[in-house]
Chain A
Amino acid sequence: MTKQIKFIQGNEACVEGALYAGLDFFAGYPITPSTEIAEHLSKLLPQKGGKFIQMEDEIASMCAIIGASLTGHKVLTATSGPGFSLKQESLGYAVMAEIPCVIVNVQRGGPSTGVPTHVSQGDVMQARWGTHGDHSIVALTASNHQDVFAMTVEAFNIAETFRTPVILLFDEVVGHMRERLEIPEPGEIPLVKRLRTAVKGGVDYHPYLPREDGRLPMSDFGDVHRYNVTGLVHDMWGFPSDNPKIVHGLLRHLVDKIENNASQMARYKTFYLEDADTVLVSFGSAARSALHIVESLRPRGEKIGLLELQTIWPFPADIVSQYCNNAKYTVVVEMNMGQVCQMVKTTVRHPERVFLANRIDGVFITPTDIKNILRLIKGKGV
């Protein structure tokens, strides 16, 4: 079989990845710069018997995918800043009720309506803390279409494995840029199926009791187990409880199931890091400029490399420490006011050696921008 090769937008690469992962339900609302995801799925989903619905608002879209996940489907919604804000309450519901689902946020400039058609990476902390209350979250990102595809598949796999919402934190440049995508053969990337309970009908089933391996087998709405799903703190049957032991236990479980598996979820790429004394840390489209500058400075003998983060949350602290602890300069390249930079500073041994190379004006950060900032940091002048 010949490889299927496409020349498409990043948003379409995300669609292809979602379909490869087995997506069969999408609910969304039009918003720049993520709308193409909805448009393409409205065409492609019914072709494979899946369902697409344009809901009345962003909140409803998030709620609808949670409902559809409970009937046993792989579900997705896509949005950008303002819509991501609106989804936060129901995102928290998905955390609390442990509903597998994937939420795409193609980031644009904010706050508020901001710069809708321009790029930003300003929602890193919102992804982490946007919904209220203590919790953990998974957020992945990518800098090119092959990785957008792979990370989208990964998002569905993590959502199913850990019964959790997973955020895909893309950005306007990746979303709208066109480049080559090679669709992997079926089976080339392993897919995680919904883990369903083996408990027979009439036997007590505990939807919220983790197995020894930490996973929680589900039962589809419509099947033999009738249980309760709620955003209230609940016991192992899903019924509300304010028993302090249950409250504490559930909160610990929700946080631990993500944080204790951070290394398993850590996806990243390294470029020229073996001997690097200057380590760029970047993600999403900004990592493309970072890689470009690394590759143009290397031939001049500069010991510079790139750590590209693909998992943003849970923050891959071990990986960042491993590559940055001994660097003379760690420079975080991002299009926000230092949201990942802060995390790197709290992670590494020498926070005073961590610098920010950023742009926050809606214009894509270029290799020249990074080069100039590097010269400033190293006291070479521009």
Chain B
Amino acid sequence: MAVKDYIRERFFPHLWCPGCGHGIVLNGLIRAVEKLGMSRNEMVMVSGIGCSSRISGYMDFHTLHTIHGRALAFATGVKLSKPELNVIVPMGDGDALSIGGNHFIHAARRNIDITAIVMNNRIYGMTGGQYSPLTGPGMMATTAPYSNIDQEFDVVEMARAAGATFVARTTAYHVQQMADIIRAAILHEGFSVVEVMSQCPTYFGRKNKQGSAVDMMKRMKETTTPIGSAAKAKNPELIERGIFVQVDKPEYCSEYNKIIERAMGGR
């Protein structure tokens, strides 16, 4: 199937600002799904609230646009009740890790077969540029006019610690890698987390004098490096990209099927 068959073309052009990285994530996601050759009828996309969450409306899947922070909880209901569906949950950084932080760690802990994509632009874009748990100290935001003092989460470390069995990071600049990683994440049986660093030139970039979208993408190229690279050894400040965790552990829905067998067998 052609890439364009995966989108709801009538809703384009999309609502994201010029230069926003989220459209590139949409692109990477579609290419990942297209390569897998999955039927649209078996795909469910569940999203929350925010710029990121509007991605679900553009995909020609079963789409569930829910409430702020709770996408993974809705997705857990979808997946457990019908495990044969492929469930993808795109979230923003505030959506996934602030209001939705509890659901994030618990979905990871259960290792339920859901693909979570954290579109991390380090800002609340939809509401106009407030700091998020991923903004980091020293940054400016409309609610941090004197600079931010909140420490940030590391999405990868957090997902790993919570028990996610597939954890990866990529950026909107590295779109080929993004598609490959999302494809691997969808194929992985268990809870997968893909952090995609995405640029918000409208708020984060403007508030923090990071220039245009192109400048911000150049920065992603320059400040990141593949996992374990020589460059990282030289410059520990670099942010690593790639697959950090990929392990086999009992998946929640499969384990629940064993519970059903046990209950039906009267054991």
Contacts and interface: CB of A to CB of B under 8 A. Distances in A.
B62 interface: yes
Interface string B72-84: 0111111111101
A68 interface: yes
Q: Is the interface of A mostly helix, strand, loop or mixed?
A: mixed
Interface stretch (B126-134, B167-175, B200-208, B255-263): B255-263
A57 to B, nearest CB: 6
A60 B41 contact: no
Contact of A63 (B44, B70, B82): B70
Interface string A213-246: 0000000111110111111100000011000000
B121 interface: no
Nearest to B40: A226
B67 interface: yes
Interface in A8-46: 24-25, 27, 43, 46
B106 interface: yes
A59 interface: yes
Nearest to B79: A67
B263 A93 contact: no
Given A47-B263, A222-B41, A63 B74 contact: yes
B180 to A, nearest CB: 26
Interface string B150-178: 00000000000000000000000000000
Interface stretch (B29-37, B53-61, B140-148, B239-247): B53-61
A239 B64 CA distance: 11
B259 A64 contact: no
A70 interface: yes
Nearest to B263: A46
A72 to B, nearest CB: 8
Nearest to A219: B62
A65 interface: yes
A181 to B, nearest CB: 22
Interface stretch (A48-56, A250-258, A269-277, A289-297): A48-56
| Chain B interface size range | 35 or more
A25 B261 CA distance: 16
Contacts of A59: 70, 73
B81 A67 contact: yes
Interface residues of A, number: 44
Nearest to B42: A222
Contacts of A51: 80-81, 256
* Max chain A C-beta neighbours (<10 A), residue from B40, B46, B263, B264: B263
Given A64-B74, A89-B67, A222-B62, A71 B82 contact: yes
B41 A226 contact: yes
Nearest to B109: A56
A56 B65 contact: no
**Most chain A Cβ neighbours within 10 Å, of B61, B78, B256, B264:** B78
A263 interface: no
Contacts of A60: 70, 73, 76, 102-103, 106
A229 B74 CA distance: 12
B66 A93 contact: yes
Nearest to B54: A240
Contact of B85 (A25, A46, A221): A221
Given A222-B41, A228-B57, A68 B81 contact: yes
Interface string A126-151: 00000000000000000000000000
Nearest to B59: A226
19 contacts: A25-B81, A27-B76, A46-B262, A47-B263, A51-B81, A53-B76, A55-B76, A63-B76, A64-B77, A70-B64, A70-B77, A89-B67, A93-B67, A221-B44, A221-B64, A222-B84, A228-B56, A230-B57, A231-B65
Given A24-B81, A68-B80, 4 more contacts: A25-B80, A63-B67, A226-B63, A229-B64
Shortest Cβ-Cβ A-B pairs, 7 listed = A67-B77, A64-B77, A63-B73, A68-B81, A46-B263, A60-B73, A56-B106
